[in-house]
Amino acid sequence: MISKLMISKFACVTLAVVFSFSLFSLAQTAPAAGAPAAASVPNAPSAAAAAAKATGTKVGTINIEQALFQSNEGRRDFESLAKKFEPKQNELKGLADEIDSLNKQLSAQQDKLNEESRDKLVKQIETKKKSFDRATQDAQEDFQAQQGEIGNKILTKMAPIIQKYVVDNGYGILFDTSQTWPRTPVIVSMPVMDITQPVVEAYNAQSGVPAPPAGSTAQKPAPKPSTTKPAAPASTPPKQ
C-alpha cells in the first residue's frame, strides 16, 4: 500500500518548504527585498547567511528520502508507525479475504444459483468492496499524513547538518536524487558525488538516537490486497 519512495508524493510539500529555505539557498544569492525570509520556517537557517557562506564549487547529490529512512531516528519512528498500523492492516486483509471468498463462491455457484440468489450475492460483494475501498483510502491517508509529519520533523533538524556539510566540504550546489529524471534536473550522477551516508552519520551523532537492533528496519505496510470484480450477469437464463 505504501512504499518508502512514496514519501515524495505525500510529504513533498512540507519537505520542500524546509528544503527550499535551507538547502537550495546554498546555490542562490541573497533574497530580494520583500522575499519570504527563511525565519518563517521553524529552525530553518537564514537563506542570506547560507548564501554568504556558500563559496565552494563542487556539485553534490543527496537522496533525502534515503537519508530520512536510514537515520536512526527515522528507522525508529517509521518502524513504530508501521507497527501502529498493523491492526488496521490486519483488519483490511480480513475484509479483503472475505471479499475474495465471496467472489470464489459466486464463480463456483453462479450456474447453480437462481437470479434472485445470485443478485443478492453480487450486491453483498459490491457493498463489502465499497466498505473496503473507503477503509483502505482512510487508512492510507492517515498513514501518509503521519509519515509526512515524521519526515518533516526529521528534515527540519537535518537541514542545518546538510548545510554545514556542504559548506565545510566546498560544495556550491546540491541536488536531491530521491526521484529520477525527468522529475528532477539530475539526469545522471556518480556515487562519488553523493553525500547521503556522511550526512546520515553526522545526524545520528548529533541526534543521540541509538541504532535500532540488528535486522530491524522500518517496515512498509503490506500491499493492498486484490479483490476480484463480481462476475457479470449470465447471458442465459439461470437454472431454477
DSSP code per residue over the chain: ---GGGHHHHSHHHHHHHHHHHTGGGGSPPPPTTSPPGGGSTTPPPHHHHHHH----EEEEE-HHHHHHHSHHHHHHHHHHHHHTHHHHHHHHHHHHHHHHHHHHHHHHTTTS-HHHHHHHHHHHHHHHHHHHHHHHHHHHHHHHHHHHHHHHHHHHHHHHHHHHHHHTTEEEEEE-SS-TTSSS-S---GGGB-HHHHHHHHHHHH-PPPPPTT---PPPPPPPP-PPPPPPPSSPPP-
Is the peptide bond prior to 160 cis by the omega test (within 30 degrees of 0)? no
Q: Indicate the pLDDT class of residue 46, thresholds 50, 70 and 90.
A: very low
Confidence at residue 216, expressed as pLDDT on a 0 to 100 scale:
59
Average pLDDT (138-164) is: 96
Confidence at residue 58, expressed as pLDDT on a 0 to 100 scale:
92
Closest CA to 230 of 93, 86, 129, 85: 129
Q: pLDDT tens-digit profile of 203-237?
A: 999 999 999 887 655 544 433 434 444 444 444 44
Residue with more model confidence, 9 or 207: 207
Residue with more model confidence, 25 or 110: 110
Average pLDDT (189-197) is: 92
Residue with more model confidence, 129 or 214: 129
- For the entire predicted model, the pTM comes to 0.67
C-alpha cell at 60: 553534490
Q: Are 122 and 106 within 8 A, CB to CB?
A: yes
Average pLDDT (156-162) is: 96
C-alpha cell at 166: 556542504
C-alpha cell at 190: 556518480
Confidence at residue 169, expressed as pLDDT on a 0 to 100 scale:
94
C-alpha cell at 131: 466498505
C-alpha cell at 147: 509519515
Confidence at residue 6, expressed as pLDDT on a 0 to 100 scale:
43
- pLDDT of residue 27 exceeding 50, the answer is no
- Which of 21-25, 47-51, 112-116, 148-152 tops mean pLDDT? 148-152
Confidence at residue 182, expressed as pLDDT on a 0 to 100 scale:
86
Closest CA to 203 of 154, 236, 239: 154
Confidence at residue 11, expressed as pLDDT on a 0 to 100 scale:
40
Confidence at residue 171, expressed as pLDDT on a 0 to 100 scale:
94
C-alpha cell at 176: 536531491
- pLDDT of residue 9 exceeding 70, the answer is no
Rg (CA), the chain: 25
Q: pLDDT tens-digit profile of 80-127?
A: 999 999 999 999 999 999 999 999 999 998 888 898 999 999 999 999
Q: Tell me the percentage of the chain whose pLDDT exceeds 70.
A: 66
Mean pLDDT of the chain: 76
Q: Indicate the pLDDT class of residue 34, thresholds 50, 70 and 90.
A: very low
Confidence at residue 41, expressed as pLDDT on a 0 to 100 scale:
39
